[in-house]
Chain A
């Protein structure tokens, strides 16, 4: 199936060109699944620090809670809370998008429409829970 005088193949798409295409919501969920995983990977030492400091002793537990109000070294408490909020979103999105994957595996829910509706659910649930937990974190209740 070769055409006479075929052009040379274009090779992989440039990122600048790829970004001009509208990504369907399922695509957004997918790339955010990857991004959220990467965020948690990079912040792993902070997560373990929280685990360590909160569990070691009553005194260190106070230091743990103080990090979110007074701050951590040069970082003000608000910044620490924002990082924690990013982690909350990352975990929630990654978990719900992951469950969506398993749902697709188990229920064979792979039509375009099913992909769209499960993507809507993923975005709605993860953002809603992030806002709920974020409000608690920032002292709304």
Chain B
């Protein structure tokens, strides 16, 4: 049995951090692409108003894309804020509370956004 959990957890070494390093880049690229997709549709000819705006997110492919982006945002923000907490909040109890609060905040926001998406 491997003894690398709890107080024996190793936080250095081969591949450590690779998953999150890659996750930030992949989720970032997806969100940048999404920004472009939305921007192009907004800039298409026609007056900006509710019909045009709601029309963009009503298409099924757009709903799927937006869903993927919301999940990407969740991962991206978690890694980012967790890194900030790791850097500045040394007391473990305080950091745990803040990490839980962060996750609740993020999951709540994601849930709300998904609800908006699927009402259309």
Contacts and interface: CB of A to CB of B under 8 A. Distances in A.
Interface residues of A, number: 22
Contacts of A95: 32, 35
Given A37-B80, A41-B77, A98 B113 contact: no
Contacts of A44: 77, 105-106, 109
Nearest to B81: A41
Interface in A54-93: 54-58, 61
A65 to B, nearest CB: 9
A121 B5 CA distance: 44
> Contact size class for B?
20 to 34
Contacts of A51: 113, 116
A54 B53 contact: yes
Given A44-B109, A55-B54, A95-B35, A34 B25 contact: no
A41 B35 CA distance: 17
B119 interface: yes
Contacts of B81: 37-38, 41
24 contacts: A34-B80, A34-B84, A41-B81, A48-B109, A48-B112, A48-B113, A48-B116, A51-B113, A51-B116, A52-B112, A55-B53, A55-B54, A55-B120, A56-B116, A56-B119, A58-B50, A61-B49, A61-B50, A61-B53, A95-B32, A95-B35, A101-B25, A102-B28, A105-B25
Interface of A: 34, 37-38, 40-41, 44-45, 48, 51-52, 54-58, 61, 95, 98-99, 101-102, 105
Task: For the complex of A and B, list the 5 residue pairs with the smallest distance between their C-beta atoms, beginning with the closest.
Answer: A61-B50, A52-B116, A58-B50, A44-B109, A37-B80
